[in-house]
């Protein structure tokens, strides 16, 4: 079970064990990701004793997905994950970066233009991404399970990802991002590709297209404005990239 608590406090008891998580109020919120492994049938009870309205997303990992983790031959990368899932009520929490927070917000407020199976796939994709990012964070903090170069590379990539997510409207260069992260441009590009399977610039394009799609679906902004948000000066080029990414045109998504 993975809970992303964006606002408010959550108190629950499972098998007689109390858990209390507090993300604060809207004015002083500090989002928290809380992972809990429920390895057997259990009794769960929530208490509504918070004065602050709750804003949270709670998902559970699909069993086939977990089984694939255990079936992998890479013992170095998965030993911490195996140990976590072997213990009933094992738990782990951390302060998420912007990537996880935005995924949770997209689940709470999905694009209204999506419905039926597309909506289900959209929500599932966001949830699995949050689960993967959370497990990756847990692995990174278990220093003995990751070689030091891999650990440092992962931290560089996470910082770069959060910097990009928070600064999509500014002119982003690899030198600017690397400077904020604290490594060389070549080091960042190499590790980013290894950890996330895409280049830094591919990630920037993806996030800007996502922002443009959300604005089209949620606010109905003009397509020319959406193209500018995504970093395209030409509407035709924007439409081509949009169709390739989402299988539909900006006009079809726009409310």
Tokens of 240: 């081509």
Between CA 45 and CA 7, with CA 104 as vertex, the angle to 5 degrees is: 60
- The string of pLDDT tens digits covering residues 109-135 is 887 767 778 888 888 888 988 888 888
- Rounded to whole angstroms, the Cα distance separating 21 from 54 reads 11
DSSP string, the chain: -EEEEEESEEEEEETTEEEEEE---SSS---EEEEE---S---EEEE---SSPPEEEEE---HHHHHHHHH-S-HHHHHHHHHHHHSTT-EEEE---HHHHHHHHHHHS--TT--HHHHHHHHHHHHHHHHHHHHHHHHHH-GGGS-HHHHHHHHHHHHHHHHHHHTTTS---HHHHHHHHTS-HHHHHHHHHHHHSS-HHHHHHHHHHHHHHHHHHHH---HHHHHHHTT-S-HHHHHHHHHHHHSS-HHHH--
pLDDT in tens, the chain (255 residues): 999 999 999 999 999 999 999 998 777 778 999 999 998 889 889 887 777 888 999 998 877 777 776 666 555 555 677 788 888 999 999 988 777 888 898 899 887 767 778 888 888 888 988 888 888 778 777 655 455 446 567 778 888 988 998 898 889 999 999 998 888 899 899 888 888 889 999 999 999 998 999 889 888 899 999 999 999 999 999 999 999 988 889 998 886
pTM, two decimals, is 0.65
Tokens of 185: 């441009």
pLDDT at 61: 81
- Rounded to whole angstroms, the Cα distance separating 125 from 103 reads 9
pLDDT at 107: 92
Return the exposure string of 90-122: e unless at least 16 CB atoms fall within 10 Å of the residue's CB, then b: eebbbebbbbbbbbbbbbeebbebbeeeeeeee
Between CA 99 and CA 24, with CA 111 as vertex, the angle to 5 degrees is: 45
């Amino acid at each position: 079970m993975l809970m992303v608590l964006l606002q408010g406090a959550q108190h629950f008891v499972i098998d007689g064990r109390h858990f209390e998580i507090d993300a604060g109020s809207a004015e002083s919120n500090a989002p928290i990701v809380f992972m809990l492994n429920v390895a057997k049938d259990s009794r769960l009870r929530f208490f509504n004793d918070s004065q602050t309205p709750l804003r949270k997303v709670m998902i559970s990992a699909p069993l086939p997905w977990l089984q694939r983790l255990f079936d992998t031959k890479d013992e170095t990368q998965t030993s911490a994950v195996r140990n976590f899932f072997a213990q009933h009520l094992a738990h782990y929490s951390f302060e998420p970066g912007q990537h996880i927070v935005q995924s949770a917000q997209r689940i709470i407020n999905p694009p209204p233009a999506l419905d039926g199976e597309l909506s289900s796939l959209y929500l599932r994709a966001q949830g699995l991404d949050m689960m993967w990012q959370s497990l990756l964070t847990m692995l990174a903090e278990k220093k003995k399970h990751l070689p030091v170069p891999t650990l440092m590379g992962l931290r560089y990539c996470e910082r770069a990802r959060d910097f990009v997510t928070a600064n999509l409207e500014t002119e982003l260069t690899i030198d600017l991002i690397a400077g904020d992260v604290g490594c060389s441009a070549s080091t960042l590009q190499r590790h980013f590709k290894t950890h996330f399977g895409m280049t830094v610039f591919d990630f920037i394009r993806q996030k800007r297209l996502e922002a443009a799609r959300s604005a089209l679906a949620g606010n109905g902004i003009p397509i020319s404005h959406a193209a500018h948000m995504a970093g395209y000066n030409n509407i035709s080029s924007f439409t081509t990239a949009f169709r390739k990414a989402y299988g539909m045109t900006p006009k079809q998504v726009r409310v």
